[in-house]
Amino acid sequence: MISRMMANARRILLLSSSTVHGSGYLEYAAGHIKEFLQKSKVKTILFVPYALKDHNEYLNKVQGPLKQLGYAVEGIHEATNAIDAIKKAEAIYIGGGNTFLLLKTLYDLNLIEPIKERVLKDGIPYIGSSAGSNVATASINTTNDMPIVWPPTLTALALVPFNINPHYIDFDPDSKHKGETREERISQYHEIPGSPPVLGLREGAILQVEGDVAKILGTYGAKLFTVENQPQEFRVGEEVSFLLK
């Protein structure tokens, strides 16, 4: 459970994806990322590449765009001790890939609690994209990924008390595809008693959390699913702070 003191400290930026059609890696979110990190006077970002197999290649991909924004990027996999790297980090960025692989690795390396303490207690900025956004929430139950490995639990970092569905896609009435829609799958999840709200982040959507204030940023809005109510639309610039209570 997140205490009020911890809630006031947290600074979180959750991207639906790292790339949108027609732009480069993190390009659509660059302005939001820079503004977000400037508030904490960040100079170096600790990157967590565990959602993909080739950590060095992933780090190289991330370093270029963030260097253009004025930030040095260090890979946690290069550190002698991953927990110490978390304790010393000015900011944490967890990239996308496979959410199950990411969460399992975080548990295997005993990084869940250190990350939670730095973000919720110390207030260092946390940025996630796709899988990195999934693990910031209550659980990874609403990821789109295949369970290629199995973490000890689906409970995630719980930096926020709800779930996210990244890359959310609306039903296309002109499509000939007759499989389940994303909305139907989330509805099935909500058949489980006690399941939390799910915020569907469309491509280009960003959720920013500053203490107990949450707002939709980016280029596209979000769709909220709860057990009690019909799905609700939220446009860019609108608050969803009630989800934090």
Rounded to two decimals, the pTM is 0.95
To the query of whether residue 145 is one of the catalytic residues in this protein, the response is: yes
Q: What is the pLDDT of residues 157-184, one digit of tens each?
A: 999 999 999 999 987 777 777 668 999 9
> What are the boundaries of each domain within the chain?
4-244
* Model pLDDT, residue 3: 58
Q: What is the pLDDT of residues 77-130, one digit of tens each?
A: 999 999 999 999 999 999 999 999 999 999 999 999 999 999 999 999 999 999
Whether the Cβ atoms of residue 205 and residue 218 lie closer than 8 Å to each other: yes
Per-residue buried b or exposed e for 72-109, using 16+ beta carbons within 10 Å of the residue's own CB: ebbbbbeeeebeebbeebbbbbbbbbbbbbbbbbbeeb
Q: What is the pLDDT of residues 211-234, one digit of tens each?
A: 999 999 999 999 999 999 999 999
From the list 16, 18, 129, 130, the catalytic residue is 130
* Model pLDDT, residue 26: 96
Mean pLDDT (whole number) for 189-217:
97
Grouping H, G, I as helix, E, B as strand and the rest as coil, residue 134 is helix
Q: Which of 8, 29, 23 is nearest to 205 (CA)?
A: 29
Q: Which of 92, 14, 97, 112 is nearest to 48 (CA)?
A: 92
Asked if pLDDT for residue 1 goes beyond 60, the answer is no
Q: Which of 4-18, 116-130, 230-244 shows the lowest per-residue confidence on average (mean pLDDT)?
A: 4-18
4-244: CATH topology: Rossmann fold (3.40.50)
Q: What is the 3-state secondary structure (H, E, C) of 33-93?
A: HHHHHHCCCCCEEEEECCCCCCHHHHHHHHHHHHHHCCCEEEEHHHCCCHHHHHHHCCCEE
For residues 180 and 167, what is the distance between their CA atoms, to the nearest angstrom?
Answer: 16
To the query of whether residue 130 is one of the catalytic residues in this protein, the response is: yes
From the list 77, 167, 187, 190, the catalytic residue is 167
The pLDDT mean for the chain works out to 95
Q: Which of 114, 108, 49, 44 is nearest to 78 (CA)?
A: 49
From the list 16, 129, 145, 195, the catalytic residue is 145
